[in-house]
Amino acid sequence: MDHISSPLVAETLGDEQWYGDDAPRWEKAPTSNQARHRRRCCVKRIRRLGKGQHDAENLADLLDECVPGNRCMSGACPECSRAIQRWFVANVRRLIHAPDRHSSHEPAATSVVFPDSSVDPDDLDKLAVTNIRRRFTEVVKAIGGTDWLVGGFDISLNDDTAKGLGICWQLQLYGVAKVHKRISLSEGLRTHYLPCPRVRRPVQTKISDGSRSAISYGFKTDFVRRVTYWGAVGAKGKPRKCWRTRKVSLKPREHLELLLWLHKTGLAGRLYLLGVRMTRTRNGVALVEIRRCE
């Protein structure tokens, strides 16, 4: 599959404004220099660990040639991923603050960990987003009350060895939605995505504050290993023990496996759009709400 699966995503990435350091800005947002440095580090890692692997060597060459005016547009590229994230933040924030036909509707931030979308290490290439996306769309439409939902698929390597559950790659969706009743969306999702030993709380929904920082989480550019451990929480003098999670860097070969999957999936493949569409405007590609007859 061509890693550039959407002409409008390609057009967005052809606009160099999204690679700069002007607005939108938010706390701890990656800078253009940081993204450039990460891209070069990715190239070195892929060439070192993927030597002799045709797909890896081609990806390293592609990322190495990503420059202004000739962007690689790969889902594995930190610079191109950051550009889409910045575009995402600007457009979702505009949607949230657009004049609302339904003043009672509210913005909601939601995350769904798909219990049936985990795969073992070294099997990440078997994880396809298409069917998971289709099923999620069916669920949200069946629940009803959602004007639009925009988000992105995220993935992490979950190390639950301490629980005796081993290690797996886990797919998750973070998004922002405009809904009639947030509680209805939350309860509806919970009836379809049930807890399991690996995923205790597959659905979390809360009011979105509409901040750039919160919106940016909908299309993440950094990926981690989540290590579960038994630790103490609570105020000093009154600690209690529970399962906690520590984020650490992926190991080099885990990172290589992830980069190959991100490239295969593509930036368009990670985007999730319901009730909105990417549209070419006089100011560039934008997210526009799909107006339905009432």
Average pLDDT rounded to a whole number, residues 168-189: 95
What's the pLDDT band for 102 if we cut at 50, 70, 90?
Answer: low
What pLDDT, on the 0 to 100 scale, is given for residue 105? 81
Per-residue pLDDT for 293 more than 50?
A: no
Per-residue pLDDT for 69 more than 90?
A: yes
Residue for token pair 């909105």: 276
Contacts of 263 (CB under 8 A, 6+ apart): 3, 59, 62, 74, 75, 76
What's the pLDDT band for 99 if we cut at 50, 70, 90?
Answer: confident
What pLDDT, on the 0 to 100 scale, is given for residue 139? 97
Alpha-carbon Rg for the chain, nearest whole angstrom, is 20
Per-residue pLDDT for 171 more than 90?
A: yes
Contacts of 236 (CB under 8 A, 6+ apart): none
Average pLDDT rounded to a whole number, residues 117-141: 95
Question: In the predicted model, what is the mean pLDDT of the chain?
Answer: 93
What pLDDT, on the 0 to 100 scale, is given for residue 101? 59
What pLDDT, on the 0 to 100 scale, is given for residue 104? 62
